[in-house]
Amino acid sequence: MRSKIDAVSGKRNFHARQFLPGFLLRFYAKIRGMNEILPHVLELKEDDRTFEHPALAAGGAPIELEIGCGNGRFIAARAAKNPDQTYLAVERMMERLRKCSRKAQQGALHNLTFVRVEAGRFVRELLPDHCVKAMYLFFPDPWPKRRHHKNRFFQREMCDTLCRIFVPKGIMYISTDHEDYFKEMYKYLTEDPRFDEIAPLIREEDEQTDFERLFLSKGDPIYHCAFQLR
Ligand SMILES: C[S@@+](CC[C@H](N)C(=O)[O-])C[C@H]1O[C@@H](n2cnc3c(N)ncnc32)[C@H](O)[C@@H]1O
């Protein structure tokens, strides 16, 4: 059962934001205390305690979610190919979200919403229970120094969060160039009896992320894995 969620931003406003003219979007941003508002982008404020999206209403079909989507190359390509699937993508950098917004507008991707929020808080605290069928984590910031490891998105506790937000058979897809971070995530997931390892997602060129293309062009190794909730 999904948890009940309260309205924070007003569902009607949220829908309208994808179609409103610029001056109305700027006015909306002003009254919500935001710097900028972009079509297809929902910005959460630090004191928002709930997240409402039409696709997360009780009884809705499960969503697919990308964490740290960068310029949105992967998720925009996916959303264009699967118009009946709802996609959310989390990113915190405004300049990247501008590019994401442009891609979604150009492709008229009304099944894709970008969310500006801290990704860890979003999955731990704001997503309702059992609403995600696939989560994509591609080239997350590795925080290479040991004293910074605590900042990594995927800690051991993330396995518990996945169990809460995933529907049965939900899949976690991971790709990274960072061997140490990869080994850590792989260890957490293989040690957790609630997950089975499955074939990773090796993407065709049109679905490769910008960081992936950069590493591939340099000939760097890339590590992929995927785990499915039992
Ligand atoms: C190394 S980049 C990879 C981007 C993209 N996945 C790709 O492969 O091209 C990591 C991305 O995650 C975003 N990011 C990092 N930490 C985040 C957080 N805590 N919340 C939301 N986004 C985050 C960064 O802004 C950046 O765009």
Domain total of the chain:
1
Asked if residue 37 belongs to a domain, the reply is yes
Q: Which domain holds residue 90?
A: 11-229
Determine the pLDDT at residue 10: 33
The model scores a pTM over 0.75: yes
In a domain, 144, yes or no: yes
Structural domain includes residue 97? yes
Asked whether residue 148 carries a pLDDT value surpassing 80, the answer given is: yes
Query: Is 71 strand, coil or helix?
Result: coil
What confidence category does residue 37 fall into, taking pLDDT thresholds of 50, 70 and 90? confident
170 domain-assigned: yes
Instruction: Give the strand pairing for 223-229 and 166-176.
Output: antiparallel
**pLDDT: which is higher, 1 or 194:** 194
Residue 3 forms part of a structural domain? no
pLDDT of residue 26: 66
Is residue 142 in contact with ligand 1, taking CB distance under 6 Å?
A: no
Atom in ligand 1 nearest the alpha carbon of residue 122: 20
In our burial notation (b when 16+ CB lie closer than 10 A, e otherwise), range 154-172 reads bbeebbebbbebbbeebbb
DSSP 65: E
Residue 116 covered by a domain: yes
Is the pLDDT score of 67 beyond 50?
A: yes
Sheet holding 132-138, edge to edge: 41-43, 112-116, 87-91, 63-67, 132-138, 166-176, 223-229, 195-198
Tell me what the mean pLDDT of segment 9-34 comes to.
Answer: 57
Q: So what's the pLDDT on residue 163?
A: 98
What residue owns the CA closest to ligand 1's atom 13? Answer: 68
192 tagged catalytic? no
pLDDT band of residue 110 (cuts 50, 70, 90) is very high
Residue 178 lies in a domain: yes
Q: Cβ(70) to ligand 1 under 6 A? A: yes
Per the prediction, the chain carries an average pLDDT of: 90
Looking at residue 169, which CATH number applies to its domain?
Answer: 3.40.50.150
For a ligand 1 pocket test, name from 44, 123, 139 the mutation site with the most ligand atoms within 8 angstroms of its C-beta: 139
5, part of any domain: no
